Amino acid sequence: MAREIKIMTTRKLVGSVLMGTATLLGLLTVGNARPLPRQGQSQDDELQMGQEVFNELKAKGEIVESSPLYDQLRPIADAITKAAQPRYNHPFKFYLVHETQPNAFATPGGNVYVVDSLLYFVKNREELAGTLCHEVSHTIHHDTVTLMEKQKKIEEREVGAAVLLGPTRAHILAIALLGKLHSLSYSRDVESQADITGSDVCAATGYNPWGLVWLFQDFKDAKIGHIPQLLSDHPNDQHRVDALEQHFQKNPSVFGKFNSDTKSATPFVVPKDAPEVFLR
């Protein structure tokens, strides 16, 4: 499909698919009395949700098509993809996006978005890898679609049957996701599970899974307001760090070889003011 580029190939986009917010909302309002597909289609729904978010980010001009920053991201993204792909049935694809707050987010369907400023924000390679492994794990666990479904159910109760007619279920969930893209409020347990699976994925890549713990610890004492969105969405929680450490201790054959000391971290260096070409 010409709608997407893989960072590995960064081939030029042919054709254009424009579906801005107005179009999305227009479809939602007009509707066409199609029944909502239900059980058994959730996998395809995930793909559709992911595609709608991609279209929206592209329409906003946020997706970086090419940049030297991809040279830094690509080896880590490739390693994580290799380790995580057996756990998910749609291909993982990593995209850089340009936003002000350092952040990373994954959408259903396999796309993972890495805000460019995150590459400058992390203190070492392991912290970046840990963050991306965590995000990929939300996709593996289907956390986003579960959360959106929960929220839509509450809304359906509030607005009655109107929302049940017309657009597909995936479309409704995609709209809900677009509104919450940067403030998904997962429960502590859901976050902790993503940490645990993320640490497994990280260990399988060979990147030190302590990176996620280091990231938490670096910003433990930061003042609210100075905490980047990445961590205020995923607040520091000693329970999460404890759960990770317990997981490491319980599985010495997997985690025993990794050094918990930040001094063992690999520096992550990115070119300053790297140019970016945006996908249009």
Q: Which residues bind Zn ion (CB under 5 A)?
A: 191, 194, 234
Sheet holding 104-106, edge to edge: 104-106, 111-115, 93-97, 63-66, 277-278
Nearer to Zn ion, 3 or 142 (CB): 142
CB of 218 vs Zn ion, minimal distance in Å:
17
Nearer to Zn ion, 125 or 240 (CB): 240
Nearer to Zn ion, 180 or 280 (CB): 180
CB of 178 vs Zn ion, minimal distance in Å:
18
Task: Answer whether 97's CB lies under 8 Å from 114's CB.
Answer: yes
Name the nearest CA neighbour of 27 among 171, 179, 181, 173: 171
CB of 103 vs Zn ion, minimal distance in Å:
11
Nearer to Zn ion, 138 or 169 (CB): 138
Name the nearest CA neighbour of 92 among 73, 116, 67: 73
Nearer to Zn ion, 234 or 247 (CB): 234
Could you give the residue ranges of the DSSP H alpha helices within the chain? Answer: 21-30, 42-59, 69-84, 116-121, 125-140, 143-159, 169-180, 188-205, 210-218, 229-233, 238-250, 252-255
**CA dist., res. 90 & res. 86, Å (int):** 10
If 0-12 CB within 10 Å is exposed, 13-18 middle and 19+ buried, where does residue 277 land?
Answer: exposed
Tell me the residue nearest to Zn ion as measured from the CB: 234
Please give the C-alpha separations between residue 121 and each of 7, 41, 86, 115, 175, in angstroms, as whole numbers. 21, 38, 30, 10, 30
**Tally of CB atoms within 10 A around 26:** 11
CB of 190 vs Zn ion, minimal distance in Å:
7
Nearer to Zn ion, 45 or 191 (CB): 191
CB of 58 vs Zn ion, minimal distance in Å:
24
